[in-house]
Amino acid sequence: MNELKNKKILIVDDEKELLKLTKEILQSEGFFNIYTAENCEEALNIILNQRIALALLDIMLPDGDGFSLFREIRKFSAVPVIFLTARGEADDKIHGLGLGADDYIVKPFLTKELVLRITALLRRTYLRNQESAGFYVGHRYVDFETASVKFGDKEKTFTPKEFILLKKLYENKNKIVTNDALCMAAWGDGYYGYENTLMVHIRRLREKTEETPSEPKHIITVKGIGYKLVTENE
């Protein structure tokens, strides 16, 4: 757990009091590497210059919005993101998660809920099984240490969600992993309704790991049930 508490967290919100309160909440729980920003420009500058492990993004910001900021971040970083918003509207939630965000919290939130969500996301993203440094899929090597796949002189990095899903498949290699189990691993207890999003992530995983993504040999669909990872030696 100490490894997680040392991770750098960025909070982006234009409400100074809420920004201060959220920072104090996390610090009281042992998260001391907290960075704050009140607008998109400040947030981008911090992420460009610091090794941020997780970002909390408000949707309404003075120089843009959280969705646009998220898209800018994704151009150069795969940092896990939780959206913060005072609006509990379903379309905001669907839009944010559809962009590839990892979670969504409606303000005002309970202190315990915020800490649990952050801890769970950090755990799912960064706590790794140390038994193996990676594995081969065909001529491509999946490196757990760098969360990337390497082939020839090329390297492609996995997003946090892709990495979680691939690790879950690898932990059960050559066995069927149900859609529910994969969604639970990536999105936690509130995974219901993520089936279509799961399909998108699997397609992107295949684009990075399969030589012919349209004819996968390693990430196999088990129709109506889930997926199975077949590695080089199986």
- Give residue-wise pLDDT tens across range 179-203: 988 988 888 766 666 788 899 999 9
Q: Which residues contact 57 (CB under 8 A, 6 or more apart)?
A: 12, 43, 66, 69, 70, 81, 82, 83, 84, 101
Q: Is 75 helix (H, G, I), strand (E, B) or coil?
A: coil
Whether the CB-CB separation of 132 and 122 falls below 8 Å is answered with no
Q: How many CB atoms lie within 10 A of CB 220?
A: 14
Q: Which domains, ranges and CATH numbers included, belong to the chain?
A: 2-126 (3.40.50.2300), 134-229 (1.10.10.10)
For position 40, what pLDDT does the model report?
95
pLDDT value at position 130? 42
Work out the pLDDT band at 233, boundaries 50, 70, 90.
very low
Radius of gyration (C-alpha) of the chain in whole angstroms: 18
Nearest to 194 by CA among 170, 215, 213, 178: 178
Count of C-beta atoms within a 10 Å radius of residue 37: 23
For residues 22 and 37, what is the distance between their CA atoms, to the nearest angstrom? 12
pLDDT mean across residues, the chain? 85
| Residue 159 burial (10 A CB sphere; 0-12, 13-18, 19+) | buried
Give the SS3 label for residue 12. strand
Tell me the sheet residues that pair with 176. Answer: 228
Q: Give the model's pLDDT for residue 129.
A: 43
* pLDDT at residue 88, as a whole number: 56
| Neighbouring C-beta atoms of residue 137, cutoff 10 Å | 25
Confidence of residue 94 (pLDDT cuts 50, 70, 90): low
Outline where DSSP puts E strands in 100-231. 103-106, 134-137, 140-143, 148-151, 154-157, 176-178, 219-222, 226-229
pLDDT for the residue 189: 65
What percent of the chain is modeled with pLDDT above 70? Answer: 87
pTM of the model: 0.56
Residue-wise pLDDT tens digits, 99-125: 677 888 888 888 888 998 899 888 887
